[in-house]
Amino acid sequence: MSKDKLQQGLTGRERGMAGGAAGGVARPLPLVLAVGGTQEDWLLPDEVFAEAGCRLLRAHGSDQARESCTAHPPDLVFMPLVIEGRPATGQLRKCLAREPRPVVVVLASNDQIDIAAEAMRLGAHDCLFRPFSRARLARTIHGALKQHRRKHQRSQSALPNDPQCSRHAAPAGLRDPLALPDPQTAVDSLSLARRGFVTASGAMQALLQRARAVARSDAPVFISGETGSGKSWLAQIVHELSPRSARPLVTLTCAGLTPETVDAAFLGPGGALVRAAGGTLHLDELADLSPAVQPRVLHLLERPGPGAGGDGIRVIASTTPDPAVSDPAAMAQTGGLRPDLYYRLHVAPIEVPPLRARDGDAVRIARRRLTMCSEAEGRGFTGFSDSALSMIAGYDWPGNLRELINVVRSVVLLNRGPLVTPDLLPAELRAGAAPRPGPPFSATRRSGAAGVSAGRMRADGLIGMTLAEVERAVIEATIDAESGSLPRAARVLGVSPSTLYRKRNTWSKAGS
């Protein structure tokens, strides 16, 4: 690539200089190198970088990228995880080894989670998962520029005892927010893959987006979800993305607290507030707090002192809601939680969807966990048979992630592989996933708050029902006919399980 061609990307505004005060010395705008092909050109439009105040230089392929880096050392690099059909981790290592080190953002697809996790471990600043919006790209550029400016300022900073430096220093024990990855950092690659959880479902992508949005705030987070759905894992994710991630995440189980032990649990030697100072306190199963303990817990969370003053703490509460209670706020109205404690902690709510509502995730996680467990135990498992995968996909997983992980681990410990076949799976899983004869096609139709029972459905029985009522009747009848299995009912109806889950959740909240 000739020097003239390289200069083609540095014309007009992109070759501009950032002017200072009158008479000051102008400095060049940050230079961004975008590596890739036609797809990356379309995903990374020139105008978004120009609006962010950057010069943009493009390189198609590894050779052009190396030549570009030599001729025009970039400040920021946007590169795909796969270049010319091969993983680009080697190119990423070389890029991060350059001096001065550029801020690197990698581009990935949902099936490249493991490579994305490796890229983040190597030092990539952020990961953009295709497809992404222009607004998402703009936020990522902004975060990368902040990181670049911080590195530049640090390299030219005054001595550590300079009052200009200490005045803006982060509180002791906290990481400077500018030193953290952008809040859109690919937690769905780094933390998921590292723990053996992989996802491509819309329900989980929405959850992760919400987790990213609240991560940097110190506002309390209120996590709800079924037993085993991953509430503790999500608490870890939020903590790891927060400015407090360098300090401890302390989990306190609420069920065993009594009026006699609560003070020691929070304030005694090794108490939760003491250990979590500057970090995050996770109150696990908040709804299990006895009514006699709740006033004291509220007082301890609001008092100044160790863990509550100074650097403070970030509080995350999690709970498994009562299936009979459709709205978490009802816990504060039915006596499960004191209203003042509930509203003190219910600031940033996140609901973890059950595994049955995460389209295809059971199979993805099972495969990933099988690899991890097989390697850890020295077994020779290579995968699942198609029939075993069908059973995993068709099972409701009432115990959610915890049940799935235990099943995979048990299979690995008790067998030698190389293939997981249906006979190696637990009997209850085989029975629960197999098609079973159901009752006649029937449904329960509700009209208003009262609810009217509709028997066996016939065409004439649908007359007088609204379209929404017909839809609900058909869905409920199909679920009933499939012995309560949402995944099997979804296959019969030709929709995704998450669609049925969302509809039933909406009906429950509406109280209709």
What CATH code is carried by the domain that includes residue 413? 1.10.8.60
User: Which stretch of DSSP H or E encloses residue 413?
Assistant: helix 400-414
Domain co-membership, 327 together with 385: no
Query: Which segment of 16-25, 72-81, 137-146, 341-350 scores lowest on mean pLDDT?
Result: 16-25
Query: Which domain-ending residue is among 169, 201, 236?
Result: 169
- Which of 183-197, 205-219, 285-299, 453-467 is predicted with the least confidence, judged by mean pLDDT? 183-197
Handedness of CA 440, 441, 446, 447 (dihedral sign): negative
Q: Are residues 158 and 253 in the same domain?
A: no
Domain that holds residue 410: 356-433
What pLDDT score was predicted for residue 255? Answer: 85
**pLDDT score recorded for residue 31:** 93
Strands 383-384 and 419-420: parallel
Contact criterion met (CB below 8 Å) for 32 and 76: yes
Residues 22 and 156 in one domain: yes
Residue 382 near residue 420, CB atoms below 8 Å: no
Mean pLDDT, the chain, rounded, equals 76
Same domain, 238 and 339: yes
Mean pLDDT along residues 405-409 = 93
When pLDDT is cut at 50, 70 and 90, the band that residue 162 belongs to is: very low
The token pair at 295 is: 């006033």
Q: Domain count for the chain, please give it.
A: 3
Residue 491 lies in a domain: no
Q: Which tens digits make up the pLDDT trace of 2-57?
A: 444 444 444 444 445 544 444 444 457 899 999 986 667 778 889 999 999 999 99
Instruction: Using the predicted structure, report yes or no on whether residue 278 has a pLDDT greater than 60.
Output: yes
Query: Rounded CA gap, 345 and 302, in Å?
Result: 11
Provide mean pLDDT across the span 485-497: 75
Say what the pLDDT of residue 79 is: 93
Angle at the Cα of 180 (from 176 to 186), degrees rounded to 5?
165
For residue 251, list its beta bridge partners: 282
Q: Which of 433, 449, 470 is the last residue of a domain?
A: 433
In the sheet with 280-284, reading across from the earlier edge strand, the strands are: 249-253, 280-284, 314-319, 221-225, 348-352
Q: Is the residue at 473 inside a domain?
A: no
Cβ atoms 128, 144 nearer than 8 A: no
Alpha carbons 498 and 355: distance in angstroms, whole number: 10
Shared domain for 202 and 346, answered yes or no, is yes
500 falls within a domain: no
User: What percent of the chain stands above pLDDT 90?
Assistant: 23
- Does residue 387 sit in the same domain as residue 408? yes
Q: Is residue 38 part of a domain?
A: yes
* Of residues 154 and 302, more confidently modeled: 302
Judge if 33 and 121 occupy the same domain: yes
**Does residue 217 fall inside a structural domain?**
yes
Are 192 and 298 within one domain? yes
For residue 339, the model assigns a pLDDT of 85
> Which has more pLDDT, 258 or 448?
258
Distance CA 88, CA 92 (A): 6
Cα distance between residue 432 and residue 296, in whole Å: 45
Tell me which residue of 126, 181, 178, 183 sits closest to 151, measured CA to CA: 178
Is residue 496 domain-resident? no
CATH number assigned to the domain comprising residue 12: 3.40.50.2300
Return the structure tokens found at 25. Answer: 């010395």
**pLDDT at position 446 over 60:** no
* Residue 142, phi then psi, degrees to nearest 5: -60, -45
Q: Are residues 409 and 272 in the same domain?
A: no
Q: Looking at 338, 353, 368, which one is the last position of a domain?
A: 353
**Are residues 341 and 193 both part of a single domain?**
yes
337: CATH: 3.40.50.300
Q: pLDDT (tens digit, 9 = 90+) per residue, 353-380?
A: 999 888 889 999 999 899 889 988 888 8
- Comparing 182 with 367, which gets the higher pLDDT? 367
Rounded to an integer, what distance in angstroms lies between the CA atom of residue 179 and that of residue 396?
42
Which residue type is seen at 354? Answer: P
Do residues 379 and 417 make contact, with C-beta atoms less than 8 angstroms apart? yes
Asked if 365 and 272 sit in the same domain, the reply is no
Q: Would residue 478 count as lying in a domain?
A: no
Residue 465 inside a domain? The answer is: no
Same domain, 191 and 162: no
